[in-house]
Chains A and B, each alone.
Chain A
Amino acid sequence: MRDPVTNERHGAEPLLEVLDLRVRIERDTGLVHPLNGVSFRIQEGQSVGIVGESGCGKTMASNALLRILPRRAEITHGSMQFRTQAGDRIDLAQLDPMSRRMRQIRGGEISMIFQEPMTAFSPVHTVHDQIAEMIRLHDPGADKEEQHRRVVELLDQVGIPDPEQRAFDYSFQLSGGMRQRAMIAMALASGPRLLIADEPTTALDVTVQARVLKLIERMQRELNLALMLITHDLGVVAHMVSYVYVMYLGRVVEEGPVEAIFDNPKHPYTAALLRSIPNLASKSRRLEPIEGNVPSADRLPTGCPFHTRCTEKVGDICQQRMPARVELSVGHAVSCFRYTEESLDDG
């Protein structure tokens, strides 16, 4: 049996393994580096969280996976090994974004739930048409009746009341929570093995968010999906995933099982972030903000990306060299000089 908690570095082959991914965007004003060597892995059926503040490259990472990067953005380095249903490993970074293969994987084996479902649905087609279209794309054998049956079944599964009727609504006729449910139904229509959810509930109210997240959790469990949950909300990650990657400025600075990250954060950024957010459950504690601002991706600091705001700097080495990834315990790793033997004199 697979261990859902540790990331099983030495176990079975992961479903997805991203290694040292770098993305560069050309802008009129210069180059932007939204991803600077991101590595992560997801096992089959595992739920993984990617957390980080706005602009740290979370969306960029998932868009790179699906090869839907913006114009003038390119993957300059790294690999993204994906194990397909058939069992072969392909490097998504090497595929042509427009190729048949890529299109089969995108929206097929890997599907995505977007933050703003409004933009994911076409306003001129009914929800039914769009979900049926997904079914048809990935199962050309299904006839009209079969498609309809599956659409209704999916809508029912995601908790849309009266699915026979609602199916023929347009997306703008649904409330925010309903729309997100329909979006989930659409994402599941192709029978994916990896579900990417990019801030799926940021636009929703807490009570609606809670139910939508519970729905995603149930779907993940029932269909044995791998889930890559992208969010900036530490509360959401704490309850939704078993393994967490903390990103800062286009890099993974800490990764580990969710309890390890929350109980025993090692990287100064993770620790500071946890100290800076209010917790409904405890009033007394004073918040300790992280001083300064997130540097912009077009003027990256040298060395450790966090050194401009870090209160636990080891020394000059922090602003001169990039700390390597160190594994502290099984599956819990950080990139920080506080945990390496390295000093400036080396090398």
Chain B
Amino acid sequence: MAELAADTILRVEGLKKHFPVRRGLLQRVVGSVKAVDDVSFSVQQGRTLGLVGESGCGKTTTGRMILRALDPTAGQVWFRQSDGQVVDMAALRGAEIKQARRDMQMIFQDPYSSLNPRMPVMDLIAEPLRARGWTRPDCESRVAELMDLVGLDARMIRRYPHAFSGGQRQRIGIARALALKPSLIVADEPVSALDVSVQAQILNLLQALQQDLGLTLVFIAHDLSVVRYLCDQVAVMYQGRIVEQGESEALFTAPRHPYTATLLQAAPAPDPHVPWMQDIDETETEAGDTTAPVELVDGTTAAGGCAFVPRCAHATDLCRQQGPILMPGSTRESQVQYGAAHLAACHHQDELQLRGI
């Protein structure tokens, strides 16, 4: 298979999603939001990729395009199905998509809105099975098995979602995603909506499931500590693009992009002795937005250059004029020190001395 290296299960190539912006009475299209703009990454079998970034940076959109819950504007999503066949999710049609989704599933952020309140747990978890023609008794035993797997009492099979707490609902969502024994799971902020004390339950469950079932996980989050806990690799997104990507440890301890460093600095550790934001000027305001830029049709495009310029303390004229490309460091030292797998989209990645954690 030319499109995928042997140990790779998913490779996203130049993925884009532009939403039209409509204005006025006639709802004319006046521009587009570049929610995801030229995103590429790959995930190896059995590993966990963390997709982090602040709200509106395009994480959900990326995740949904992988599963083809959204149609990409451009790009490819190469995915190795369990039968060994490599398909481009972005180019599949009807029945083929359904076939591919047997092997890839999604866990949603909101455990309340993602479960139809009008269906008992049995029907919710069995939905992917029913859609593939399983008989009711078969479904029933599989659902009981799945509930057991995610730590729900199978006696609750006839209950409706309103009888479950947030954490339990998320377990239902996980069981449902696992129903067809997928090999890839996209988890979109699966713990953000949960109680603090329950988050660890779900994180540990995901980790255990991943190891026992050999799952590959694309884990979307905005909380870096959760990502560090769970992920092998991390991709940091900013305004619809990946700005830094690498092995989790390397990225957290020696960030190569100023934005990653900012994120790391800003997260308060639950420990009063760890210094936090000591040298940050809080009056410096939220210049620039994290959300994707709107590009108007009438030609007023965002200026070239790096999107992070308004918030970057290291910006130079080069940054303002020319957009950086996501690539490994170019000096020999950085090649040796960071390897070719640690990519950053910053002109000055080789010179900057950024603090990690």
Contact = CB atoms under 8 A, between A and B. Distances in A.
B290 A205 contact: yes
Contacts of B298: none
Contact of B270 (A175, A277, A290): A277
A277 B228 CA distance: 12
A289 B198 contact: yes
A238 interface: yes
Given A287-B204, A293-B165, A280 B282 contact: no
A175 B289 contact: yes
A67 to B, nearest CB: 28
Interface of A is mostly: helix
B179 interface: no
A273 B229 contact: no
Which bucket holds chain B's interface residue count? 35 or more
A211 B277 CA distance: 9
Contacts of A262: 270-273
10 nearest CB pairs, A to B = A214-B282, A235-B268, A289-B200, A205-B54, A210-B266, A280-B225, A234-B270, A289-B201, A276-B200, A159-B283
Given A214-B282, A278-B203, A289-B204, A294 B195 contact: yes
Contacts of A252: none
A88 to B, nearest CB: 36
Interface in A150-178: 159-161, 175, 177-178
A210 B290 CA distance: 15
Contacts of A232: 195-196
A69 interface: no
B40 interface: no
A281 B269 contact: yes
B201 A238 contact: no
Nearest to A174: B286
B252 interface: yes
B226 interface: yes
Contacts of A234: 196, 270
Contacts of B203: 278, 287, 289
A177 B287 CA distance: 10
A210 B271 contact: no
Contacts of B284: 159, 211
19 contacts: A54-B195, A175-B289, A177-B285, A206-B263, A211-B285, A215-B282, A233-B196, A233-B268, A235-B267, A238-B268, A238-B271, A272-B197, A276-B200, A277-B225, A277-B270, A283-B228, A286-B204, A289-B201, A290-B197
A232 B200 CA distance: 15
**Which of A206, A212, A218, A236 has the most chain B CB atoms inside 10 A of its CB?**
A206
Interface residues of A, number: 50
A281 B200 contact: no
B81 interface: no
B19 interface: no
A53 B196 contact: yes
A215 B277 CA distance: 12
Nearest to B270: A234
A71 to B, nearest CB: 24
Given A160-B285, A211-B280, 18 more contacts: A159-B283, A175-B286, A177-B285, A178-B286, A181-B285, A206-B263, A207-B263, A209-B266, A210-B265, A210-B277, A211-B282, A273-B196, A278-B223, A278-B229, A279-B270, A289-B204, A290-B197, A291-B201
Contact of B276 (A215, A239, A288): A239
A124 B195 CA distance: 35
